[in-house]
């Protein structure tokens, strides 16, 4: 099959850069320990070298590539590629701002790339928090640490809950895995390797990260690798990863992220393997939807991330620094773990939850303040808007048309984006 962008895709691929991979903080681990102990106020995040000369070179390549695309004879290619190049330019401007230590510019570029958190979704997430606080207060309010956490969080949840357009969507009941043992990182790695064979993507591999590197799973398309948290970090997750839950996670990481990449590369427009501009909202929406179909859920995905981002960004009127957000997230993590244990009839271990809450709150703050020092209130990395917004949008599509999942794996596009759908129709990819 002759792809319509065959003469462009290789050059475009050379411009691809994942911003968050360049913005891994490089502080010594002692900084984390000192911060959690309260010995320092802010961690003052530092990053590895981002060459300003390299950024300038990449921006020049983007400008030259735009001239080539503008002169391209295929209107579909122009419509697909020009917004993508604009997206690349914003990503390099973000990296330049991070290299210069300009927290405000990093945040502004992030908003242009991913969007800013919106009050409607933020208040929806607050409603969910209020419900969790009420359940935990009724069952565990006599515990001193729980009581202190509830007292910190109660003033933040607002007034009466609102009604939202997506409230009528019926989500699948969550599955309960009674007494199922958690898998180790090595066992999870083996499950992913088997999935790569099953999905016919044998060139992919699963790698276990070093301790302290991450608490979430990450799919790196440039390296054809899924990174798995180390055993040390898996124990701090909200719930243990049983074999069934790992299969739901595989549907997310492999069945969505990897398969959409491979199918896109084989499509009439190779750019669908890299992703159309703004595809990430739909990508994560499909991924979390696929996971929820297997595992069930009580809430739309991404609510906690949206809540944390809204607090950092200042949607409640109080923009926060790294420390300011941490002091809100730590009690939130404690209450969240307790509520999850109650909901799934799991042991309630307040001390273990409290210890894990420190590490989870630190990890989320690092994630949200990527590219910044963490000391500028409200200046943060806004990528996490895509999860809740994308998950709700995909459930709305499926509720209106149950046949939509048949078209989710055509490539990396956003099914809720009308321009993306129009492009695929023009490529004769929709029935």
Please tell me the predicted confidence (pLDDT) of residue 357.
Answer: 95
Question: Once rounded to an integer, what is the mean pLDDT over residues 14-40?
Answer: 85
Instruction: Give me the pLDDT at residue 247, please.
Output: 93
Is the pLDDT higher at 166 or at 13? 166
4 is a domain residue: no
Least confident of 102-106, 163-167, 168-172, 239-243: 239-243
Average pLDDT value for the chain: 93
Q: How far is CA 107 from the centre of its chain?
A: 17
Q: How many residues does the chain have?
A: 431
**Structural tokens at position 7:** 């003469």
66 domain residue, yes or no: yes
- Name the residue among 110, 115, 36 with its Cα closest to residue 371: 110
Does one domain contain both 292 and 348? no
CA quadruple 206, 210, 211, 216: dihedral positive or negative?
negative
Provide the 3-class DSSP secondary structure of residue 218. strand
Statement to judge: residues 215 and 356 lie in one domain: no
Choose one of 274, 297, 320: the last residue of a domain.
Answer: 297
**Of 47-56, 78-87, 211-220, highest mean pLDDT:** 78-87
Question: Do 161 and 304 belong together in one domain?
Answer: yes
Domain identity same for 130 and 164: yes
Q: What is the mean pLDDT of residues 49-53?
A: 87
Structure tokens at 87: 């997206």
Question: Do 289 and 183 reside in the same domain of the chain?
Answer: yes
Select the more confidently predicted residue: 175 or 316: 316
Give the Cα-Cα-Cα angle 130, 316, 363 (nearest 5 degrees): 75
pLDDT of res. 208: 96
* 307-341 residue pLDDT tens: 999 999 999 999 999 999 999 999 999 999 999 88
Residue 111 lies in a domain: no
Same structural domain for residues 286 and 364? no
Q: What are phi and psi of 18, to 5 degrees?
A: -85, 110
The answer to whether residue 343 scores a pLDDT higher than 90 is no
Query: Does the residue 105 lie in any domain?
Result: no
Mean pLDDT for 259-288 is 96
Task: Let me know if residue 422 belongs to a domain.
Answer: no
74 versus 213: which is more confidently predicted? 74
Is the residue at 108 inside a domain? Answer: no
- Written as one string, the DSSP assignment of 186-202 is HHHHHHHHHHHHHTT-T
Using 50, 70 and 90 to split pLDDT, how confident is the model at 81? very high
- Non-local (6+) Cβ contacts of 265 within 8 A are 272, 273
Same-domain pairing of 392 and 308: yes
The mean pLDDT value for 262-270 works out to: 95
- Residue given tokens 């290619």 in the structure block: 77
Is 236's pLDDT higher than 80? no
pLDDT of residue 328: 98
Q: What percent of the chain has pLDDT over 70?
A: 97
- Choose the final residue of a domain: 73, 100, 127: 100
Query: With 90 as the cut, is the pLDDT of residue 70 above it?
Result: yes
pLDDT of residue 125: 95
Predicted confidence at residue 238, as pLDDT, reads 65
In-domain check, residue 416: no
Please give the average per-residue pLDDT across 188-199, as a whole number.
95
Same domain, yes or no, for 338 and 258?
Answer: no
pLDDT of residue 154: 94
- In whole angstroms, give the CA distance from residue 428 to residue 431: 7
Count of CA atoms in the C-beta half-sphere (13 A) of 191: 22
pLDDT digits (tens, 9 = 90+) for 102-139: 999 999 999 999 999 999 999 999 999 999 999 999 99
Residue 342: domain span: 116-171+299-400
The band of 212, judged by pLDDT with boundaries at 50, 70 and 90, is: confident
Which pLDDT score, from 0 to 100, does residue 178 have? 66
Instruction: Provide the CATH number for the domain around residue 201.
Output: 3.30.2010
* Torsion from C-alpha of 136, 352, 206, 381, nearest 10 degrees: 60
275 and 238, same domain (yes or no): yes
The band of 145, judged by pLDDT with boundaries at 50, 70 and 90, is very high
**Percentage of the chain modeled with pLDDT above 90:** 80
191 and 286 in a single domain? The answer is yes
194 and 283 in a common domain: yes
pLDDT reported for residue 162: 84
Same domain, 182 and 289: yes
Q: What share of the chain is helix, strand, coil (3-state, %, to 5)?
A: 60, 5, 35
Final residue belonging to a domain, choices 52, 70, 100: 100
Structural domain total, the chain: 3
* Residue 167 resides in a domain: yes
């Amino acid at each position: 099959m002759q792809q319509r962008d065959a003469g462009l895709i290789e050059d475009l691929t050379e411009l691809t850069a994942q911003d968050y991979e360049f913005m891994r903080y490089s502080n010594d681990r002692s900084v984390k320990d000192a911060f959690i102990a309260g010995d320092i106020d802010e961690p003052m995040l530092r990053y590895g070298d981002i060459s300003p000369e390299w950024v300038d070179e990449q921006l020049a390549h983007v400008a030259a590539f735009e001239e080539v695309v503008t002169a391209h004879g295929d209107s579909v290619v122009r419509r697909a590629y020009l917004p993508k190049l604009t997206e690349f330019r914003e990503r390099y401007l973000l990296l330049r701002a991070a290299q210069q230590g300009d927290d405000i510019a990093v945040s502004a570029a992030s908003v242009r790339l991913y969007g800013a958190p919106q009050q409607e979704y933020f208040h929806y997430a607050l409603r969910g928090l209020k419900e969790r606080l009420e359940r935990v207060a009724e069952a565990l309010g006599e515990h001193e640490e729980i009581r202190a956490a509830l007292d910190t969080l109660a003033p933040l949840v607002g007034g009466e809950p609102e009604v939202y357009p997506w409230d009528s969507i019926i989500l699948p009941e969550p599955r309960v895995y009674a007494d199922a043992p958690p898998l180790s990182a090595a066992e999870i790695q083996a499950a992913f390797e088997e999935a790569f064979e099953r999905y016919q993507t044998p060139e992919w591999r699963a790698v276990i990260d070093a301790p302290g590197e991450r608490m979430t799973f990450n799919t790196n398309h440039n390296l054809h690798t899924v990174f798995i948290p180390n055993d040390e970090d898996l124990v701090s997750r909200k719930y243990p990863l049983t074999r069934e839950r790992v299969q739901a996670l595989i549907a997310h990481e492999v069945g969505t992220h990897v398969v959409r990449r491979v199918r896109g590369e084989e499509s009439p427009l190779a750019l669908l393997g890299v992703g159309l501009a703004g595809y990430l909202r739909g990508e994560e929406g499909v991924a979390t939807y696929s996971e929820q179909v297997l595992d069930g859920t009580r809430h739309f995905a991404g609510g906690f991330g949206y809540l944390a981002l809204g607090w950092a960004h200042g949607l409640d009127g109080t923009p926060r620094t790294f420390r300011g957000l941490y002091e809100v997230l730590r009690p939130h993590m404690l209450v969240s773990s307790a509520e999850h244990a109650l909901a799934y009839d799991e042991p309630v271990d307040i001390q273990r939850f409290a210890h894990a809450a420190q590490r989870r709150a630190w990890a989320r703050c690092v994630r949200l303040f990527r590219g910044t020092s963490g000391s500028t209130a409200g200046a943060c990395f806004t990528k996490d808007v895509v999860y809740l917004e994308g998950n709700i949008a995909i459930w709305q599509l499926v509720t209106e048309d149950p046949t939509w999942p048949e078209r989710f794996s055509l490539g990396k596009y956003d099914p809720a984006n009308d321009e993306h759908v129009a492009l695929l129709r023009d490529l004769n990819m929709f029935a």
